[in-house]
Amino acid sequence: MNAIRQLHHALKINRTLVHYGLDEFLAPTPLARFRPLAKLFSLSLRRKAKDKSRGERLRLALTELGPIYVKLGQMLSTRRDLVPPDIADELAKLQDQVPPFDSNIARSIVEKQLATAIDDVFSNFNDTPLASASIAQVHEATLNSGEEVVVKILRPGIRQKIMRDMQMMHSMARWAEKYSSEARRLRAIEVVKEYDSTLAREIDLRIEAANTSHLRHNFENSDLLYVPKIYWDYTRVKMLVMEKISGIPIGNIEALRTSGVDMKALADRGVEIFFTQVFRDSFFHADMHPGNIFVNVSNPGAPQYIAIDCGIMGTLDENDKRYLADNFLAFFDRNYRRIAELHVESGWIDADVSIPEFESAIRAACEPIFGKSLAEISFGHFLIQLFQTARRFNMQVQPQLVLLQKTLLYIEGLGRQLYPQLDLWQTAQPYLKQWVREQIGPKAMFEDIKRQFPDWLNKAPKLPGLLFDNLHRVGHSLNQFEQLKSQFTELERHKLQQQYALKHAFIGGSLAILSGISYLAVPTDWWPAAILGAGAGWFLIKSLWPTK
């Protein structure tokens, strides 16, 4: 039965794709021979949107296939390192507006999740959805305590629908990569796997709630960004209850101007929020499209951002941050050799790659960008150029950097929509340089030592005492030995000399081991290892030439 459903679903997808003439994507590949078969099983030769570009036709086909495919298109629009620009530009236009599901079903889901009647929790529950998307819809409500909230509810049956669609997508990706070198180049299996992972996080609303709480904590008492409160007592896998916010949608430029908002300050503060999330917190909102951002205009001269929908978040480790900062700074210094070296140092490109050749490729990709003014240079497009060039040298995709690229493109586009003269470099450069200075100062070095050698730091205070106690015991043993030595006959003296040599060999070997451990624990502080090593050598020499 499951196989029959999969076959029916595959035929539906094939029919839609053929109707929009998307079988043309097979033409330059070995799969071209399957085009007649695809047309045959579409059961129709009718074509839609013949006069439109391939990007437009793909966008329309995904919209017709349904919300899961719309979200796939949205995700693909951010993968400009894989998708041609004309297609990426069209897919970026996809709007995820879906008809709402019945409010009685919404109420039923809430009551099942809370295991109580809806009136026991809410004094008011608005049956008309505030917003409706492919994964969930949102209702306004009021808690019995009087607090105004919004309730986000997963669509009924969405898990099963996603599982069915993802099984089909995985099968199609495997099939495509098996028969098409183009699909292998575009890493179809990897793209579908990434999409599957994203959806898995989005259908557990506790993950979104936890992300929201974390971001709220990072910007607690900040006048830059406000993140609404999560009501954990009423949050479950299929529902999330969050503080209701009020503000002007950031896409409503006219309303912002009418409210007297300083648009340059608003754009600059958006850039500051982004770089603060990335470089201070290593935790950034990776879905900052206009629908998820509002503005508190109570202080028009210093407008405050409000962020919602934290289902997709990005994280960076210290190496990622250092890589990004150094690359941005090297790029604006036109130091292409340093960019090439950074890729090798990070381990993302094999060390045997020719640095001069890689440098030349980066120069060819990036130099044309400098034909523009700094205000026109796009950080996001710089990353796209960089990733595309690096892929030719077998750089593996770094998912966290792809998320960051997507977010940076959102921020740039939004910032220049708010204030067309926005000079992102002028705004970001001081922040980046300050961060880099902090990374190489004494405080940063100390923090680095703490991260790398926590065990050594815990044991370091005990090392002098342990060393003194052991040397004291060695000295005491030697004194006792010298006192006893004179009381024995020559034969006994010879035996003692053997024991004496063995004892020195044992002590020397122990000190040699301690020396090795000391050096491995703290290679930068060589002197303890040197002292222990010298002692080891002395005792070993004594074991070879014992005193007669």
Task: Provide the annotated binding site for ATP.
Answer: 130-138, 152
Active site residue 287: yes
- In order of 4, 263, 350, the CA distances from 253 in angstroms are 50, 9, 47
Cα torsion 427, 432, 434, 437 to 10°: value is -160
Query: Is the four-CA dihedral 63, 64, 69, 73 of positive or negative sign?
Result: negative
- CA separation for the pair 461, 270 (Å, rounded): 46
- Residues marked as binding? 130-138, 152
Instruction: Please name the helix (run of DSSP H) or strand (run of DSSP E) that holds residue 376, with its range, or none.
Output: none
Cβ–Cβ under 8 Å, residues 190 and 278: no
CA 432 to chain centre: 19
Cβ–Cβ under 8 Å, residues 364 and 339: no
- In order of 106, 188, 238, 241, 407, the CA distances from 138 in angstroms are 10, 33, 12, 10, 24
Q: Which of 81, 287, 320, 326 is catalytic?
A: 287
Q: Running DSSP on this structure, what letter comes out for residue 397?
A: P
Cβ–Cβ under 8 Å, residues 325 and 432: yes
- CA separation for the pair 506, 496 (Å, rounded): 15
Query: What are the strands of the beta sheet with 304-307, ordered from one edge?
Result: 225-226, 304-307, 293-296, 248-249
Cβ–Cβ under 8 Å, residues 152 and 136: yes
In 10 A of CB 347, how many CB atoms? 10
- In order of 148, 151, 208, the CA distances from 205 in angstroms are 19, 11, 5
DSSP string, 436-494: HHHHHSHHHHHHHHHHH-HHHHHHGGGHHHHHHHHHHHHHHHHHHHHHHHTTS-HHHHH
Cβ–Cβ under 8 Å, residues 335 and 383: no
Catalytic positions, written as ranges: 287
